[in-house]
């Protein structure tokens, strides 16, 4: 159940981050940075003449979605049927469910579609296409389907050069009354890159894979009106999207330390932080203890594989400015251990019990998933409102 807005937010036009009324840990969202990140992506993609379909799996909030989408009705992509239901009830009508479909989910898809929501699904096998044939026969609904194509061997999808499988799936869908809407690709391997030249190359490889698959379908007389690609790195660095009709991206709106390591966002552009309180010290060890452990930050340690290991997050002051070399070095369920990086010559800041700090997260999706709302910051770093968000599947 989504928590209601706390009463004190109705009493004050804004709330300072050190207010005794503000409980920690809580999730902060800098609205100005969010809007700037969205504007930059939209401007970039407009120049490439493609439709923007934001992925809402990180946002999980209609308030964020309305900033990210190009219209209140979409288009958008979701990663759970819970999201599809939630955004659909809030007027988002053009959605793709971006996880390979299973038969047991199809009745729920049908229920969503009966509400007037144009929810499309993805698949990459004849086995899934058989399930769609049963669905179409049962519900008399020409379900829109995308064939997922493998951009780079990262995860799922049909090989773009496997023309026989692509054509067989497409024909099976059409012969059973489904609507073949196009192909979708996700260049997941781009998240392991950090050199801009390499990411540009990954974006081009993604484009070529998409266009190749689309051409295979069209040559076989099959429709492929939408050619959809998407990942934050390739969306950010793509220079040519000829043959592509739409681009999807999501985490770029918020940014995180992993994306900073990839190079798609600067640290000072990260819009999401966790507000935490100092609860103690272990001065002989050089530790400051806070009330944000892995339940508040998530266990994601993705930056450990990058050039700079950020621990569980970078520690900042209440204005969002990082303290020199201060990171969350360890985390238990509800306790975080703050210390200087190994080898640092910086001084540990004096932060008494009750002092507040902000933590920049490694992975915005995983950190945000721990919370049911965003505490939204204005330009003065004060909380001006609360935006509910959802979780679950």
What's the CATH code of the domain at 351?
A: 2.40.37.20
Joined together, the tokens standing for residue 83 give 């999201």
Last-in-domain residue among 195, 220, 252 = 252
Same domain for 182 and 81, yes or no, is: yes
Same domain for 218 and 105, yes or no, is: yes
**174 pLDDT exceeds 80?**
yes
d(CA 141, CA 144): 9
Between 188 and 302, name the one with better pLDDT: 302
**β-sheet bridge partners, residue 377:** 30, 383
Same domain for 217 and 289, yes or no, is: no
Q: Which pLDDT band holds residue 154 (cuts at 50, 70, 90)?
A: confident
For residue range 129-141, list pLDDT tens digits in order.
Answer: 999 999 998 889 9
Mean pLDDT of 101-113: 96
Same domain for 14 and 130, yes or no, is: no
Question: Is 2 contained in some domain?
Answer: no
**266 pLDDT exceeds 60?**
yes
Supply the pTM of this predicted model: 0.94
Dihedral sign from CA coordinates of 369, 370, 372, 376: negative
Least confident range of 94-103, 151-160, 287-296: 151-160
Q: What is the pLDDT of residue 5?
A: 59
d(CA 170, CA 245): 19
**26: DSSP letter:** E
Same domain for 275 and 382, yes or no, is: yes
Q: Which pLDDT band holds residue 143 (cuts at 50, 70, 90)?
A: very high
Mean pLDDT of 261-287: 97
Q: Which of 305, 275, 267 is nearest to 17 (CA)?
A: 275
Question: Is 43 contained in some domain?
Answer: no
Joined together, the tokens standing for residue 140 give 């008399």
d(CA 124, CA 104): 17
Domain carrying residue 186: 48-252
Domain containing residue 92: CATH number: 3.20.20.10
How many domains does the chain divide into?
A: 2
Joined together, the tokens standing for residue 146 give 């995308």
Q: What is the pLDDT of residue 10?
A: 62
Same domain for 276 and 323, yes or no, is: yes
d(CA 65, CA 73): 10
**72 pLDDT exceeds 90?**
yes
Same domain for 241 and 99, yes or no, is: yes
- The torsion defined by the Cα of 179, 180, 182 and 184, in degrees rounded to 10, comes to 90
What is the residue whose two structure tokens read 């979780």?
A: 391
């Amino acid at each position: 159940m989504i928590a209601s807005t706390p009463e004190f937010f109705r009493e004050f036009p804004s709330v300072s981050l050190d207010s005794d009324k503000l409980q920690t840990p809580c999730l902060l969202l800098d609205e100005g940075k969010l809007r700037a990140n969205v504007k930059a992506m939209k401007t970039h993609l407009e120049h490439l003449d493609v439709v923007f379909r934001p992925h809402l799996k990180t946002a999980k909030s209609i308030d964020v979605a309305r900033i990210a989408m190009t219209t209140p009705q979409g288009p958008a992509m979701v990663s759970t049927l819970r999201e599809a239901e939630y955004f659909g009830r809030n007027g988002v009508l053009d959605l793709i469910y971006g996880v390979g479909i299973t038969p047991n989910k199809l009745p729920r898809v049908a229920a969503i579609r009966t509400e007037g929501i144009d929810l499309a699904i993805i698949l990459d096998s004849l086995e899934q296409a058989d399930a769609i044939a049963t669905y179409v026969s049962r519900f008399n609904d020409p379900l829109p389907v995308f064939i997922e194509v493998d951009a780079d061997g990262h995860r799922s999808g049909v090989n773009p050069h496997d023309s026989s499988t692509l054509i067989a799936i497409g024909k099976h869908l059409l012969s059973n009354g489904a609507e073949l809407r196009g192909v979708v690709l996700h260049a997941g391997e781009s998240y392991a890159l950090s050199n801009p030249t390499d990411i540009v190359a990954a974006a081009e490889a993604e484009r070529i894979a998409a266009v190749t698959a689309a051409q295979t379908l069209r040559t076989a007389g099959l429709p492929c009106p939408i050619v959809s690609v998407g990942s934050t790195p390739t969306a950010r660095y793509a220079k040519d999207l000829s043959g592509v009709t739409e681009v999807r991206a999501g985490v770029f709106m918020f940014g995180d330390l992993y994306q900073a390591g990839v190079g798609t966002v600067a640290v000072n552009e990260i819009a999401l932080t966790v507000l935490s309180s100092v609860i103690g010290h272990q001065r002989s060890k050089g530790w400051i203890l806070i009330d944000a452990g892995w339940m508040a930050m998530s266990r994601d340690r993705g930056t450990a594989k990058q050039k700079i290991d950020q621990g569980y997050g970078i520690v900042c002051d209440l204005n969002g400015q990082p303290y020199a070399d201060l990171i969350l070095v360890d985390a238990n369920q509800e306790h975080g251990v703050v210390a200087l990086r190994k080898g640092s010559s910086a001084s540990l800041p004096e932060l008494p019990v009750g002092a507040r700090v902000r933590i920049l997260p490694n992975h915005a999706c995983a950190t945000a998933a721990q919370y049911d709302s965003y505490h939204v910051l204005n330009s003065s770093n004060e909380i001006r409102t609360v935006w509910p968000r959802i979780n679950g599947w």
